[in-house]
Structure 1
Amino acid sequence: MGLTSTTTELEIAGVEPLSSPTAAGRRTSYYPWLVFALTFALLLSDYMSRQVLSAVFPFLKADWALSDSQLASLTSIVALMVGLLTLPLSLLADRWGRVKSLVLMATLWSIATLLCAIASNYEQMLAARFLVGVGEAAYGSVGIAVVLGVFAPRVHSTLSGAFMAGGSFGSVVGVSLGGVIAVHLSWRWSFAAMAVLGLLLVALFRALVTERRLAEHAADQNVVTVGTTGSAIRVPVSSLFTNPAVWCAYLGGGLQMFTAAVLLAWTPSFFNRYYGMAPDKAGAIASVFVLLIGTGMIVCGIITDRVSRNNPAGKWSSAIAFCLISFLALGLGLRLDTGAPQLVLLGIGAFFAAGSSGPSAAMVASLTHPSVRSSALGTLTVANNVLGLALGPFVIGVLADRLGLLEALQLSPLVYLLAMVALVAGKRLYPAGLKKLAAQSAAAA
């Protein structure tokens, strides 16, 4: 059944499937999971370096007398650079080499995180965070392209959700561990610890993952990788933007990240201010909700793969449902008084907050040719960062300076309404989108 599913998706894309897996493929079947584990570990490091900042917000606010909008800018500058640079760097990685690109990116963000540890004022910290964003820019898109390239399409929603959930899990570790280190040592050591871990993981990844072995295992899974055979076709980069269904996936995926990004950035401050918790305890409690976000991404990806097994359009329906559940739970929960009922609703909302991430990535992958898949997922990452990870925390920070943090948070779930509109439109355009992809592939062959 797995081979039939793979062959069908390749035929839709206008690509001739390779020969079926042999004993060599079975003999080295562990390697795709090793690639996933190492790429996932670096993604954890990525978000640990990014989100440790949230755990030390109270310390920076006290030491440097920063406003909420200044604190938010330190978070949003990373996501903004990711949004601006993801597409060009993804295009470069498709041609220069994905493994070399991942190693270079991870090295840069780790060194930049070390610079955060020695920053002496807001301006220096902002510059260091700028470099963190440059280093992290295309890691998500190139990393998921590497992972999807060595697995069959029938598990792409699950793998996409699990991989993207690494952002939440990394945030959990970054926020909780960063808070503990900041309280017992200093906030500078919080950044330093994340930097050292990142550099160690870079060395391990570089030693075990190579372009040659990735190409071998892509062939074992009947996945066409550009540059591995002379017959592999390449479609124009413009195909990333000429399919209306893909545009809907980009917009829906990016907008559904808005509120999830708000929760990642502002939950520690929420518990610190409204539940009267110390920074380390607030970070630990907030990490539970961040963990729910990541767990939800994985579970929602699994659910999506199951419900869409015989109906690919089911990916769109699942994404819409996840947005609706989170909209209702967070919208009500943020208007309740502090206490158990509020925490339960916030937990439900957090679980589904980014549940559409896996389906969105799978939809983009199914609507774009393998030769530009890193770039397509890079475009989705641009949408995730510009519309979600950069815009969400910054807008709420600005509103918090004027309305108060709680009042600002209460407005954030409304963005799900826009996400659902985009996803509903995408579902209607999906059949035509598949036909357009087949025509593009045939024209390039």
Structure 2
Amino acid sequence: MTDPVPRALPRPSPAQRWLALVLVSVAMFGNYYVYDAFGPVVDLLREQEGFTYDQISMVFSAYSVAAVVVLLIGGYVIDRWGTKRSIALFAAICLAAAALMASTARFETMLAGRFLLGIGAEPLIVAATAALAKWFKGKELSFAFGINLSIARLGSASADWSTSFASGLYANWQDPLWLATGVATVGLTAAMLYWMVEARLEGRVDLGEAAATDRLELKGMYAFSASYWYIVGLCVVFYSTVFPFRAFAIDYFQQAHGLARETAGMLSSLLPVAAIIVTPLFGLWVDRVGRRSLFMAIGSLAMLPLFLLVTYAPPGPDIPMPFTDGTRVPLTLLVVMLMLGGVFSLIPAVMWPAVAYIVRESRLGSAYSMMTLCQQVGVALVPLVVGRFNTAFGAGPEHPAGYAPGMWFYTALAALGLLFSYLLWRAESGPAAHGLEYPSGEKPA
């Protein structure tokens, strides 16, 4: 007598998959909202609580310092606890960080809250990626990842839009951060519901195994090609330019250009909105035409003059901003932010997938982890430099020219990015090319 063959479990139904996607994405929305909720209250902390630009920049940088620590630790907690517990745990840490920052204007507390946010937010992104890989493996995985990222970036845009839809809260610095805490509570609720959904379906459907979390392996880094390190260099200077500029953007538009908070918030939101809409389109286009290193160079070249234009070019006439109820902004600022939004969409759409063409599959985890680690180091350091410039040169509404040294520093970083992209294009146009310039990523024989 033979034992009966166990019946294979069915894969999750479409409704179950999309429910999991929505819950995980709402948890990510809360994470992104809290990250970007600090920018709109920078001027209030300076005016009402006496924060300096040096202190503000250290609060921003604390997140990236924590991210570096988490990347060095690796995915141990996620591997040990599983995705459903990990998502809930890290969402709870994000909520605690948001509440800590909203509780008091004491500098040390703000610093600790931002550091705690980095401890929770970065692993939450990894855990969410691993969870979606289980539910959607072989079923619209790339599309699911795209939807997840779009919903998450709506959190960033919503934090900027809060200057309009929650303008009444901006009489003080604290209420907008309590709003962010409320959004983080919604994210934690979604994470707990996801835990319940996955636990309920375990043993009923085949969820397979979660994708292995990327671990940073320092050994063997020397084996990566020059093209890989050129991409890493571009990644570091690109994100170290865009993220700190965006962090200070609302305050900068208010102080240096005299915009109202609501207008400055809408202008700043063009970056994440552009990324939501245009990044997938750029990705599809480049897959069809190739020329990856060339497009990275074009994006770097387009970014080079933007920070000087926003500093020195005449503002031009006020014109209605697209997709608003008639909000008017200076023409030069609108053009610069639209161009920066295009660059923010183009370079990431080409840069991250390009690594998969030049690093063998068995090393991709280490390659992406090293790239992210270097990126976070840059994002941690640059705000400190810009904050020091703003303080040293007396930047403020009485002295808008004090912001110029920081803008020159961003321009120098953009020039360095152009150099890295040129070196990559030259390497990928020679005999040792990896096929980045061809539509399929495969060099013809």
Query: TM-score with structure 2 length normalisation?
Result: 0.73
Please name the residue that 1:93 is paired with.
78
Determine if the alignment matches structure 1 residue 419 to structure 2 residue 417.
yes
Which digits, 9 at most, give the CA deviation of each residue in 1:191-223, with x for residues without a partner? Answer: 222222223322323433649879x7886xxx9
2:268 maps to 286
Aligned partner of 1:257 in structure 2 is: 239
Aligned alpha-carbon RMSD (Å): 4.1
Q: In structure 1, how many angstroms separate the alpha carbons of the residues matched to 2:272 and 2:343?
A: 12
Counterpart CA distance in 2 for 1:132 and 1:236 is 21
The partner residue of 2:387 within 383, 397, 408 is 397
Unaligned stretches of 5+ residues in structure 2: 1-7, 317-330, 394-401, 436-445
CA drift at 1:369: 7.1
Q: Which of 255, 263, 277 is residue 273 of structure 1 equivalent to?
A: 255
Match of 1:57 among 37, 42, 45: 42
CA shift for structure 1 position 153: 11
Q: 1:165 to 1:386 in 2, by over 3 A?
A: farther
Match of 2:327 in 1: none
Q: Which runs of 5+ in 1 are unaligned?
A: 1-21, 228-233, 436-445
Say which structure, 1 or 2, has more relative contact order (CA 8 Å, 6+ apart). 1
Q: Which string of whole-angstrom CA distances, capped at 9 and with x for unpartnered residues, describes residues 397-432 of structure 1?
A: 221223412442243133133334434555637997
1:338 and 2:336 matched: no
Aligned letter for 2:187? L
* Counterparts in 2 of 1:432 and 1:46: CA distance versus 1, 3 Å: farther
Displacement after TM superposition at 1:173 (Å): 1.5
Change (3 A) 1:41 1:125: same
1:321 aligns with 2:298: yes
* 1:82 CA drift (Å): 1.5
Q: Is the CA contact 2:130–2:211 (under 8 Å) kept in the aligned structure 1?
A: no
The answer as to whether partners of 2:90 and 2:120 remain within 8 angstroms in 1 is: yes
Q: Deviations over 1:1-20 (max 9, x none)?
A: xxxxxxxxxxxxxxxxxxxx
Give the Å deviation of 1:154.
9.9
Q: Which residue of 2 aligns with 1:191?
A: 177
DSSP-derived class of the 2:313 partner: coil
From 402, 405, 408, the counterpart of 2:406: 408
Identity across matched positions, percent: 17
* Residues in 1 aligned to 2:63 and 2:74: alpha-carbon distance in whole angstroms: 15
In structure 2, the residue matched to 1:440 is: none
Task: Provide the rounded CA distance (Å) in 2 between the counterparts of 1:433 and 1:104.
Answer: 44
What CA distance in whole angstroms lies between the structure 1 residues aligned with 2:216 and 2:64? 27
The within-5 A match list for 1:241-252 is 241=221, 242-244=223-225, 245-252=227-234
Match of 2:284 among 275, 284, 305: 305
Provide the residue aligned with 2:339 in structure 1.
Answer: 348
Q: 1:171, CA displacement in angstroms?
A: 2.5
* Cα distance change of structure 1 residues 161 and 391 upon mapping to structure 2, 3 Å threshold: farther
Q: How far is the alpha carbon of 1:41 from its aligned partner?
A: 2.8
Q: Which moved more, 1:335-344 or 1:376-385?
A: 376-385
Structure 2 residue matching 1:93: 3-state secondary structure: helix
SS at match of 1:338: coil
Bigger mean CA offset, 345-354 vs 257-266:
345-354
- When residues 236 and 126 of structure 1 are mapped into structure 2, their CA distance, relative to the original with a 3 A threshold, is closer
1:23 shift after superposition: 12
- The residue correspondences of 1:114-263 to structure 2 (distance < 5 A) are 114-147=99-132, 150=136, 156=142, 168-177=153-162, 180=166, 183=169, 186-208=172-194, 210=198, 225-226=211-212, 237=217, 241=221, 242-244=223-225, 245-263=227-245
Letter in 1 for 2:338: G
Bigger Cα Rg = 2
Return the match for 2:378 from 375, 382, 387: 387
- In structure 2, the partner of 1:7 is none
Deviations 1:5-64 (A, max 9, x none): xxxxxxxxxxxxxxxxx9955x72455554444333333222211221111111111122
Distance 1:274 1:154, change over 3 A: same
One-letter code of the match for 1:382? L
Correspondence for 1:74 among 35, 39, 59: 59
1:164–1:324: structure 2 CA closer, same or farther, 3 Å change rule? farther
Equivalents in 2 of 1:29, 1:310: separation in Å? 33
Mapped to 1, the partners of 2:366 and 2:215 lie a distance apart of: 12
Taking structure 1 as the reference length, the TM-score comes to 0.73
Q: Distance in 1 between matches of 2:13 and 2:239?
A: 36
Are the structure 2 counterparts of residues 88 and 266 from structure 1 closer, same or farther at C-alpha, using a change threshold of 3 Å?
A: same
| CA gap 1:354/1:409 in 2 versus in 1, 3 angstroms | farther
1:275 maps to a residue whose letter is H
The residue type equivalent to 1:394 in the other structure is L
Larger helix proportion, structure 1 or 2?
1
TM-aligned CA deviation for residue 343 of structure 1: 2.6
The whole-number CA distance in structure 2 between the counterparts of 1:239 and 1:32 is 38
Q: Distance in 2 between matches of 1:348 and 1:236?
A: 34
Give distance in 2, aligned partners of 1:262 and 1:77: 13
Amino acid at match of 1:356: I
Residue number in structure 2 paired with 1:19: none
C-alpha displacement of 1:327: 2.5
SS at match of 2:346: coil
Contact 2:232 2:374 in 1 (8 A): yes
- Give, in angstroms, the shift of residue 302 of structure 1: 2.8
Instruction: Give the whole-Å Cα distance in 2 for the aligned partners of 1:320 and 1:236.
Output: 28
